[in-house]
């Protein structure tokens, strides 16, 4: 095997230089064909584009049922946050939470979550409680009242 007979690898192969005159065979239109949207610079057409006609996904009617319309949105509060903002023996209501700026919107109600530790004896009035939150409140000596 001689040095000049070695196979050409991709590392040594030069890049394709387009638009360098008619003698190169890739001049004038630079291998882009004649005119049209794809011949222009910056042209990238999405795969789902169907030439301006109404696309298939919009022509086919909607089917199925979606439950989002009936979902309930609750403002959530953690037990750890209640522990920070309230004193021992306080009563926590949605109105007090809104006044003190602990929650921004009341939405459809307030749900108390169990994250964080509760060390104070609080009476909490809310619309929903997680089961762990109720056990943590009762362990601390407080009450969980559903509105």
Percentage of the chain exceeding pLDDT 90: 22
Give the span between the Cα atoms of 14 and 112, in whole angstroms: 66
Sign of CA dihedral 89, 144, 124, 129: positive
Tell me yes or no: is domain 72-146 CATH 3.100.10.10: yes
- pLDDT tens-digit readout, 62-114: 888 888 888 889 999 998 888 888 888 888 899 998 888 888 888 888 999 99
Report the predicted TM-score, pTM, of the whole model to 2 decimal places.
0.54
Reading phi first (left if > 0) and then psi (alpha if -120 to 50, else beta), residue 57 is in alpha
Return the percent helix, strand and coil in the chain, to nearest 5.
25, 15, 60
**Contact 75/111 with Cβ under 8 angstroms?**
yes
């Amino acid at each position: 095997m001689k040095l000049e007979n070695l196979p050409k690898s991709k590392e040594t192969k030069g890049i394709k230089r387009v638009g360098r005159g008619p003698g190169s065979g890739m001049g004038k239109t630079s291998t882009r064909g004649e005119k049209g949207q794809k011949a222009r610079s910056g042209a990238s057409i999405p795969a789902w584009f169907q030439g301006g006609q109404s696309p298939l996904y919009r022509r086919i009617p909607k089917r199925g049922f979606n439950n989002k319309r009936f979902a309930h949105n609750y403002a959530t509060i953690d037990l750890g946050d209640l522990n920070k903002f309230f004193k021992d023996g306080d009563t926590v209501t949605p109105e007090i939470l809104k006044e003190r700026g602990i929650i921004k919107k009341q939405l459809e109600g307030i749900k108390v979550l169990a994250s964080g530790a509760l060390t104070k004896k609080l009476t909490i009035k809310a619309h929903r409680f997680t089961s762990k939150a109720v056990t943590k409140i009762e362990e601390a000596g407080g009450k969980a009242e559903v509105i």
